[in-house]
Amino acid sequence: MKHRFPQYVAVGLVNDLVITHYDSNIKRKVPKQEWMNRMTEYDPQYWETETHLNMNNEQVGKADIETAKQRLNKTGGSHLYQRMSGCDWDDETNEIRGYFQTAFDGEDFISLDWMTQTWVVWSSSSIQNYFEHICADALKRYVRYGEKTLKRKGKPVTSLLWFLQKSSSSPVTCFATGFYPDRAMLFWTKDGEELLEDWGEIRPNHDGTFQSSVSLDLSSVPTGDWGRYSCVFQLSGVKDDLITKLDPGLIRTNGETDEVREEPQLEFSCSYLADIMSIHKHSRALSENSS
């Protein structure tokens, strides 16, 4: 028996770590981290309440699609509505910053300017109450319960900072993985000077740590000069940088990439309704709805 892709999906995240899941197939909200079971200490009916809330949001999401179709003069076919809302919490200054964004068929629809409190759907007081109290209180509770996971601080060891070149004419890519938190930078230097290249994009690993990679085109550089280049990894809160000089002998080829863990990216076809609720910590809490 084939299982159809759910029309509605809601996930909660803290620092890109998935902590809850709900979809229109299972019809219930479930914890994705063991420590999230402690939410019943705060509210014994937490999971039942959240399940009913998501079931209501599922129906609201479907109605939102119909409303958007009318206002944007869309007729027939399948459409995707997305909503992302949440809050950032700085656990050092206790500053709270909220955000809210919607999109229809992949294009921005409605958003919130937190600094000016410009909003077209909710009243300003409702926005502030949600972000500064409801959202922030929940985020702080998640961080408290999951403190060992969320507040750990690690730094890649040398064996986890390595190089890959797919072919002799391809750019050399520097990889870092297994670090936490995600406030990190990965970049190339030449003779100790940072190159004006893009910093490595940071992606989550399945275990709550992160990975990053950054490439450098050395096709016009003699191999003998490669030693002038280094890959540098900086992690917020860690004093010393992790620096590895580029050595042709350390570069792995395309046949040695078994250890590269590309995390699957969740994609929604526009033929489905999806509602994604996310919560981040830097603390950051997000919620997204896609329909």
Task: Specify the pLDDT at position 38.
Answer: 94
- Same domain, residue pair 23 and 140: yes
Task: Specify the pLDDT at position 36.
Answer: 94
pTM above 0.75, yes or no: no
* Contact predicate 65/79, CB 8 Å: yes
- Same domain, residue pair 142 and 24: yes
Task: Specify the pLDDT at position 277.
Answer: 30
Task: Specify the pLDDT at position 91.
Answer: 84
**Tokens representing 94?**
């206790």
Q: How far apart are CA 248 and CA 163, in angstroms?
A: 9
- Same domain, residue pair 277 and 145: yes
Residue 159 belongs to a domain: no
Task: Specify the pLDDT at position 2.
Answer: 54
What string of DSSP letters covers 45-91? THHHHHHHHHHHHHHHHHHHHHHHHHHTT--SS---EEEEEEEEE-T
Residue 117 sits in a domain whose CATH number is 3.30.500.10
Q: How far apart are CA 141 and CA 220, in angstroms?
A: 53
- Same domain, residue pair 48 and 121: yes
Residue 265 belongs to a domain: no
- pLDDT means over runs of 10, the chain (291 residues): 75 88 93 93 93 92 79 73 84 86 75 73 55 84 84 55 82 86 87 80 80 88 88 84 86 56 29 29 43 49
Residue 109 belongs to a domain: yes
Domains of the chain: total: 2
Task: Specify the pLDDT at position 71.
Answer: 63
- Same domain, residue pair 115 and 218: no
- Same domain, residue pair 178 and 137: no
Residue 211 sits in a domain whose CATH number is 2.60.40.10
- Same domain, residue pair 71 and 141: yes
* Contact predicate 291/57, CB 8 Å: no
Task: Specify the pLDDT at position 288.
Answer: 46
- Same domain, residue pair 132 and 28: yes
- Same domain, residue pair 135 and 196: no
Task: Specify the pLDDT at position 22.
Answer: 93
